[in-house]
Amino acid sequence: MTYAVNVTDRAKRDLSFLYAEIKAGSSNAALQWYLGLNDAILSLEQHPHRCPVTRENPHLRHLLYGNKPHVYRVIYRVRELHRQVDVLHIRHGARHPLLLK
């Protein structure tokens, strides 16, 4: 059974910032990488539990995308009752752990 993938406003801002940061509008290679990231996010609709839980919160999971040193973490939660995946944040993997409120 599939899950609906909901990209939150914060994650949309993260994607927009990342698109500009890697200059995906002017580089075919960067655009292909960016589109691959989007495809990886959408693949969560099929198997959201395949990714490990985060070290910051056992209720969140993270999908790693890219190759070192350009690995990004897609942080999300699975809402079983609604059959939904909420993509919460996208960040570079080398950053300090996520601070949760």
As for how many domains the chain has, the answer is 1
Q: What are phi and psi of 63, to 5 degrees?
A: -100, 125
Contact 45, 83 (CB under 8 A): no
Contact 74, 63 (CB under 8 A): yes
User: Is 97 a member of any domain?
Assistant: no
DSSP 8-state secondary structure symbol assigned to residue 10: H
**Reported pTM:** 0.89
What is the SS3 assignment for 73?
Answer: strand
Q: What are phi and psi of 85, to 5 degrees?
A: -110, 125
Render pLDDT for 41-85 as a digit per residue (tens, 0 to 9).
Answer: 999 999 999 999 999 899 999 999 999 888 999 999 999 999 999
CATH of the domain at 38: 3.30.2310.20
Domain carrying residue 85? 4-92
